[in-house]
Chains A and B, each alone.
Chain A
């Protein structure tokens, strides 16, 4: 349990660093953000693999999280993932409703966005297959929309090496389409494969830096 708490804390610190890195003078520091994302990934792995991870989805869960029965391992993961970046402010899950799945003492959620906004912002950004996602605030969207190479990092919930070999197609997504539906259903099945997640090389990482 201690590891879980520490992992949780490290995740929140890491996300905070990534968030604040974007406004830095001199642009994105690729090296530092790569390292932070590695730490984030390994902390997240520990967090997920700890036995203390509660299986229940949050009280007011996103619609697609409720239907899966409790014994469905796959569906547990979206819930667990969803809680991950909570300390940061519910940037996770990409679902507006996830914002409601808040911890007892949630910090303000600067990254809550409506699904529509997300669709727009997705254009130059490779959106994750999983719900765990770093979402830039509205100001950042403008930068991306105008094609500026503003600093942006997306943290992906699962390793690409394992998933690439499985279903490369699943990653290709036209950001301009509906977004939400395709995101959660199609790649969802693969990503939620818990055994895959557990055996993933914890040191592989994914960064999209613009």
Chain B
């Protein structure tokens, strides 16, 4: 199994897609709950697996293009088939995933194996009929949106009009129509005329969940810009600019790196945005630009270790963050296969671990605690014992239920509320 690079539930939560470093997409489907087995409350099983992207070579630039799937985004379901967008560094693809449970039998000109019959041997004509067959799930690429990004694509986001979507790379954001693959509109371009003057890059972008003219993008400088596509074709000028003043007491060599935003997500309500930087998760009210309304410390005990984390490259890890269906709880990952949840109402938080030893089926996850200094209690783990190679970068929350998917390197964990 390869390292999982993205996890995403579809809009109903029936399907869960994962993309990995090898360019593969694996889709899980939730079992229908049955009266016979009430304790098996809708487990997820593999539904479809396909190779979305292959490694490519850009001959002009003499660069290899990685096949790693950076993001998957589902389209809302409009017919029996499922559609999703998957992207690597350079190319976005629209995949159709559909079921086939019948096949035609009784052709005249070919036999059941597909071999052609000799027309002179045919004496009787018949009408082919559809007969049931074992369910087969097939994935076909319906559109390929290529050659629009010079830099690495970090985000894709489906618009609420379901007709367009955007793809964002380090310096540009393009708007696509699902039907048109040979052109896209460039809506944001922050590339300076002189690359030597480059000071920030785009790190994530997302459309507003309800307003199809509005989107946000985050930067490596820790700022978020909200843009309105009605104002102009090129949205280089933001409608809103969200930035928190820097705390001068926390200045260090690495202040810039840790303020770089790795993920930005609208709340389901569309009223808030959540951003993740290296040490914190912040919730912003769209109506207040000068500071976030909530800040949660994910793993502040790492603040004194930034130099080592810089050395081993961990400081560049890009953690994602997610809202639950009601926007009351937010979740994000950390190291040592820990992930954190913050309840915005009760202000309580919990640290959980995704590991095989702790996760027997239907076992209840035990909260974990990191010991910062002084005496270490029995169940606590000290900061120096944390395994920084076990990082949870990608998590997903079911749109309406308390089911979460957590990607721990090459393992996928699915947790749900305990059944009473």
Contact = CB atoms under 8 A, between A and B. Distances in A.
A160 B193 CA distance: 14
A88 to B, nearest CB: 15
A204 B310 contact: no
B247 interface: no
A203 B256 contact: yes
A149 B198 contact: no
Contact of B220 (A34, A126, A156, A160): A34
Nearest to A146: B62
B65 A26 contact: yes
Contact of A160 (B68, B196, B201): B196
Contact of A149 (B61, B171, B196, B197): B61
Contacts of B66: 25-26
B311 interface: yes
Contacts of B64: 25-27
Interface in A13-54: 13, 17, 25-27, 29-32, 34-35, 38-39, 42-43, 46
B316 A26 contact: no
B151 A160 contact: no
Interface residues on B, range: 20 to 34
Contact of A35 (B68, B151, B316): B316
Interface string B50-85: 000000001011111110100000000000000000
A64 interface: no
A34 B151 CA distance: 13
A117 interface: no
A17 B316 CA distance: 12
Given A27-B64, A39-B254, A13 B310 contact: yes
Given A27-B63, A31-B203, A42 B253 contact: yes
A207 B61 contact: no
Contacts of A34: 198-201, 220
Nearest to B201: A31
A8 to B, nearest CB: 12
Contact of A31 (B68, B89, B170, B310): B170
Interface string B270-314: 000000000000000000000000000000000000010011010
B1 interface: no
A183 to B, nearest CB: 16
A208 B194 CA distance: 9
B62 A10 contact: no
B121 interface: no
A184 interface: no
A208 to B, nearest CB: 5
Contacts of B203: 31
Interface string B234-252: 0000000000000000000
A209 interface: yes
Contacts of A209: 195, 198
B152 interface: yes
B260 interface: yes
B256 A35 contact: yes
B257 interface: yes
B196 A27 contact: no
A203 B199 CA distance: 8
Contacts of B196: 126, 156, 160, 206-208
A143 interface: yes
A21 to B, nearest CB: 10
A205 interface: yes
Contacts of B154: 31
Contacts of B199: 34, 203-205
B198 A205 contact: yes
Contacts of B195: 207-209
A43 to B, nearest CB: 6
B198 A35 contact: no
A30 B66 CA distance: 15
Contacts of B151: 30
A10 B220 CA distance: 20
A159 B298 CA distance: 34
A6 interface: yes
Interface string A133-153: 000000000010000111000
Given A29-B152, A203-B256, A208-B196, 14 more contacts: A6-B253, A10-B310, A25-B64, A27-B89, A31-B152, A32-B316, A34-B200, A34-B201, A34-B220, A39-B254, A39-B256, A39-B310, A205-B199, A206-B197
- Top 10 A-B pairs ranked by shortest CB distance? A149-B61, A26-B66, A27-B63, A148-B62, A206-B196, A30-B170, A35-B257, A38-B256, A31-B201, A207-B198
Interface of A: 6-7, 10, 13, 17, 25-27, 29-32, 34-35, 38-39, 42-43, 46, 126, 143, 148-150, 156, 160, 203-209
Interface of B: 58, 60-66, 68, 89, 151-152, 154, 170-171, 195-201, 203, 220, 253-254, 256-257, 260, 307, 310-311, 313, 316
